[in-house]
Amino acid sequence: MSFMKVMNRILIGLFAVFIGGISILHPLTKDIYFSESENRVLAQMPKFTWKQLASGNFTKEFESYVSDQFIKKGFWTGTKSVVEKAVGKRENNGVYFGKDGYLFERFEKPGEQLNSNVDYMNRFSGKIKGANTFLMLVPTSIEMYPEKLPRFAYTESEKYWMDVIQQLLNPSTTWLNAYNPLWEAKDEPIYFRTDHHWTTHGAFIAYQNAANAMGFQAFMKEDFTIETVSKNFFGTYDAKANDFTVKADKIEMYVPKFDVSYRVEFNDDTQVMDSLYAHDFLQKRDQYSFFLNGNHGKVVINSSVKNGRKLLVVKDSYAHALVPFLANHYEEIHMIDLRYYHEKLDNYIEKETISDVLFLYNIATFSEDPNLIWLNQ
Amino acid sequence: MRKISIVLVTVVLMIMVGCTKQSDSGNNETTNASFDSIVNAIKEQMAKDLKEAGIEEEVLVDGNIMNYFHTNLTASEESDPAIPVWLEKMQLQQEDIANGTVIAAMMSVNADEIIVLDAKEESKVDSLKASLEKELQAQEQTWSQYLPDQYEKVKQNVIKTKGKYLIYITYSNPEQIEKVFDDQF
């Protein structure tokens, strides 16, 4: 037998084992319901009916079932991503591989939704009398580190659109500038490298800067003990980029050295905590939910600060890192997420005798969120 | 020969007319299903599902499911502040619908949303369908971020048309609601 023939046989053998082995192993391995690394529910074996088959649904669902439940899927997709990066690919699933282990998501040029959202806010602040309104829009990490972006990476300027919004904003709403103080602190870890949120430290800087306008005296860094609660946080950018070589982020918690206590109530008292942090989430993929227990329609925080001040925060998840600092200055904070909570807010403000209203979003959510329309009720 | 073919053609034409008539009356039957009975059947199914999920209190009270908003899209805009919001959100013209209802989760982090529309005329069905697709886009935007189990519901969304009726289903088991809807015809 010639050498070529032997080689061919080996190759054919390997090929057969690979193809055959995977199809044999597939039924033997247990299907997975939820992928922690992708943070999503995986497709399950579809139910067979003749009707489903005729409509083409069955084959479609079967295909996503096979690709979702593929053996060692993470290994194959991870390998693909690493190989692609090695040959010069700069992005995966819309996330750029930046320098120094940073992952970035592009900020898309805003459409009509941005104008509508400013309009909803303006109409709303015109409607509520007797409460101060504030708007804080936070840039995302890509805006802060253009020098860490891969060459020729494209992203729309967030600063430009923030200026546009500030111009359009009803002057009765106070603009809280988060951009400048964050820019000045950009050499510090103000954003997670692997997640789309800001860090506790980033939020702390914005909080200190907002204090004056909101009418309280901010605490200093020395007033807190800073504890590192996680060193193995891989966030949403990581889930998209799927890059083995990216290092984990750490999460910090600012524990007040002064005396203060809280009672936190979720969705009309269905769940109550005496802490602003949910440590359980540090064992899961979605570690950012450590802050204020993740996403809820409505959260009410009562603090031991008895000054009678009541704040309503209309927000996205960026607020979760910042609101713990505000909780030391307000007796009550009501946090509303318009994505999940659709009550008439001007009535709510009156009923709960709210004195300050803070709108807090990152610029990307604010320009795309289709739910600010609920302010219009 | 010619006579025979004339007879044949006539017979064929009569059969065709007969058939068209029949399918016409079939269509009429479709529009005879009442809007209220569709919505009530859906509510009953939802109540049953909630019961099975372990909720002990009475779920369906005075025709409304507890902890869900029920918005009657054809009521006056003043009667319920959610009405103009839904209309604007979906770019829906109130005069295009004879009836319309939205059932949506109230404040828990839950993507459940069922919309039933009854077009005033058949010609409006396409634009109503476009409204429902707009709403689906909004739900995609809202839920794609980081609530995987809820996003799963949105991904399995069903939009369906039957005669002048349209249904939009974001729900844990949309097939069940779809079946309830189908069974009404």
Using DSSP's 3-state secondary structure scheme, residue A57 falls into: helix
Distance (Å, rounded) from C-alpha B153 to C-alpha A22?
A: 30
Residue A355: exposure state from Cβ atoms within 10 A (0-12, 13-18, ≥19):
middle
Contact indicator for A137, A164 with CB cutoff of 8 Å: no
Which of A41, A339, A343 is facing B152, going by the closest CB pair? A41
Phi, psi of A123 (to 5 degrees): -60, -40
Which of B89, B145, B146 is facing A373, going by the closest CB pair? B89
List, in order, residues 6 or more apart from A113 with CB less than 8 Å away.
A367, A368, A369, A370
Distance (Å, rounded) from C-alpha A338 to C-alpha A264?
A: 19
Which of B69, B141, B145 is facing A342, going by the closest CB pair? B69
Residue B147: exposure state from Cβ atoms within 10 A (0-12, 13-18, ≥19):
buried
| pLDDT at residue B23 is higher than 50 | no
Across the interface, do A373 and B152 touch by the CB < 8 Å criterion? Answer: no
What is chain A's percent helix, strand, coil content, to nearest 5? 40, 20, 35
Distance (Å, rounded) from C-alpha A329 to C-alpha A339?
A: 26
| pLDDT at residue B21 is higher than 50 | no
Which of A39, A267, A376 is facing B108, going by the closest CB pair? A267
Q: What is the pLDDT along chain A (377 residues), one digit of tens a residue?
A: 678 888 888 888 888 887 787 777 777 777 877 777 666 778 888 888 887 788 778 888 888 887 777 777 777 777 777 777 776 778 877 789 999 999 999 999 999 999 999 999 999 999 998 899 999 999 999 999 999 999 888 899 999 999 999 999 999 999 999 999 999 999 999 999 999 999 999 999 999 999 999 999 999 999 999 999 999 999 999 988 877 788 999 999 999 999 999 999 997 767 899 999 999 999 988 899 999 999 888 999 999 999 999 999 999 999 999 999 999 999 999 999 998 888 899 999 999 999 999 999 999 999 999 999 999 88
Asked whether the CA dihedral A104, A105, A108, A112 is positive or negative, the reply is: negative
pLDDT band per the 50, 70, 90 thresholds, residue B27: very low
Q: In A, what residues contact B, Cβ < 8 A?
A: 34, 39-41, 236, 267-268, 286, 295-298, 317, 339-344, 368-371, 373-374, 376-377
pLDDT for A174 equals: 96
The gap from C-alpha A50 to its chain's centroid, in whole angstroms, comes to: 42
| DSSP 8-state class, residue B128 | H
Residue A18: exposure state from Cβ atoms within 10 A (0-12, 13-18, ≥19):
exposed
Neighbours of A311 (CB within 10 A): 24
Nearest CA in chain B to A296: B109
Distance (Å, rounded) from C-alpha A24 to C-alpha A31?
A: 14
Q: What is the ipTM of this complex?
A: 0.74
Mean pLDDT taken over chain B: 83
Q: Which of B67, B88, B107, B151 to mutate to test the interface with A (most CBs of A within 10 A)?
A: B107
- Of A246, A237, A242, give the one whose Cα is nearest residue A288: A237
pLDDT for B5 equals: 64
The CA distances from residue A235 to A194, A286, A339, B114, in Å, are: 5, 7, 21, 32
Distance (Å, rounded) from C-alpha A49 to C-alpha A43?
A: 17
Across the interface, do A41 and B149 touch by the CB < 8 Å criterion? Answer: yes
pLDDT for B20 equals: 47
The gap from C-alpha A197 to its chain's centroid, in whole angstroms, comes to: 5
Give the Cα-Cα-Cα angle A263, B145, B128 (nearest 5 degrees): 115
Q: Which residues of B touch A370 (CB under 8 A)?
A: 89, 137-138, 141-142
Q: What is the nearest CA distance from B153 to chain A, expressed in angstroms?
A: 10
CB pairs under 8 A between A and B: 61
List, in order, residues 6 or more apart from A269 with CB less than 8 Å away.
none
Residue with the larger pLDDT of the pair A3 and B176: B176
Across the interface, do A340 and B110 touch by the CB < 8 Å criterion? Answer: yes
Residue with tokens 């009720």: A377
Across the interface, do A377 and B85 touch by the CB < 8 Å criterion? Answer: yes
Question: Average pLDDT in the B154-175 region?
Answer: 93
Contact indicator for A219, A204 with CB cutoff of 8 Å: no
Q: What is the nearest CA distance from B172 to chain A, expressed in angstroms?
A: 13
- Of B86, B87, B47, give the one whose Cα is nearest residue B67: B47
Residue with tokens 């009410």: A300
* Residue-range domain boundaries for chain B: 1-32, 33-183
The CA distances from residue A191 to A72, A253, A326, in Å, are: 31, 14, 20
Which of A34, A295, A369 is facing B147, going by the closest CB pair? A295
Q: Which residues of B touch A371 (CB under 8 A)?
A: 138, 142
